[in-house]
Amino acid sequence: GAGVSQTPSNKVTEKGKYVELRCDPISGHTALYWYRQSLGQGPEFLIYFQGTGAADDSGLPNDRFFAVRPEGSVSTLKIQRTERGDSAVYLCASSPGGGRSPYEQYFGPGTRLTVT
Amino acid sequence: KQEVTQIPAALSVPEGENLVLNCSFTDSAIYNLQWFRQDPGKGLTSLLLIQSSQREQTSGRLNASLDKSSGRSTLYIAASQPGDSATYLCAVSDGGSQGNLIFGKGTKLSVKP
């Protein structure tokens, strides 16, 4: 079956602009996670959805970052007033169950965001 | 705060060698540990998931062990091949969290033909 997909694969934007990054999880997966990976680093957690609600958004760096998952499937990560420091690969992962579940997380290919 | 460290940062071996990648974590109260592979410019591919109650998991030429009390995991790769060249990431799911993973920086493996 289809894996996690993310669009766009690459996004170049100017400092100060608004961007939206999309994630399509594996069908039926209730848990969805967003991570951010800077060059030479491991991914860092941003936000976790269980169904439609954000169960944990403690990893969002500031209030310029926001994410939604209105129907419990597709999620959109939104970044306002982008800064050069936001440049990174944004990864999405889904899982059949979040929290204390025995399931693996399955990752998408990521969106490479470059802020000029 | 949970921290995950992977040693070495980079490793180069000739084809056919058996090798071990190391992962350590500071807080032993983990729920599970997952090993991933990442090819350049790509996302993460899950290799093995070890629950906190388990000691090891095997898949083909890969074997991952977990010693929760000492905060260590190893990934053993048997008979390495050039196609194994990639960055290997270790991540733990904190028992008190919502399941989000905490990653190490990875080990970049190069297998020379």
For A65-103, what is each residue's pLDDT tens digit?
Answer: 999 999 989 999 999 999 999 999 999 999 987 666 667
Q: Tell me the average pLDDT of chain A.
A: 93
What confidence score (pLDDT) does residue A103 get? 78
Cross-strand bridge partners of residue B92:
B33, B102
pLDDT at residue B96, rounded to an integer: 59
Residue B76 touches chain A, beta carbons under 8 Å: no
**End-to-end Cα distance, chain A:** 37
pLDDT value, residue A43? 95
Q: Residue B43: which of A31, A42, A110 has the nearest Cβ?
A: A110
pLDDT at A99: 63
Full strand arrangement of the beta sheet holding A75-79: A5-7, A19-24, A75-79, A65-68
pLDDT value of residue B11: 95
Q: For A104, which DSSP code?
A: P
How far out from the chain centre does Cα B41 lie? Answer: 19
B residues 42-61 closer than 8 Å to A (CB): 42-46, 49, 51
User: What pLDDT does B24 receive?
Assistant: 98
CB B61 within 8 A of CB B44: no
| pLDDT by 10s per residue, chain B, length 113 | 899 999 999 999 999 999 999 999 999 988 899 999 999 888 899 999 998 889 999 999 999 999 999 999 999 999 999 999 999 999 998 765 567 899 999 999 999 99
CB–CB of A91 and B44 under 8 A? yes
Instruction: Supply the pLDDT for residue B97.
Output: 58
CA pair distance B64, A115, nearest whole angstrom:
38
Closest chain A C-alpha to B76 CA, distance in angstroms: 20
CB contact under 8 A, B101 and A43: yes
Return all residues near A52 (Cβ < 8 A) that are at least 6 apart. Answer: A69, A70, A71, A72
Identify the residue with better confidence: A1 or B102.
B102
Q: B2-33 in b/e burial notation, b at 16+ Cβ within 10 A?
A: bebebeeeebebeeeeebebebbbeeeebbbb
Q: Best-predicted range by mean pLDDT among A7-11, A102-106, B31-35? A: A7-11
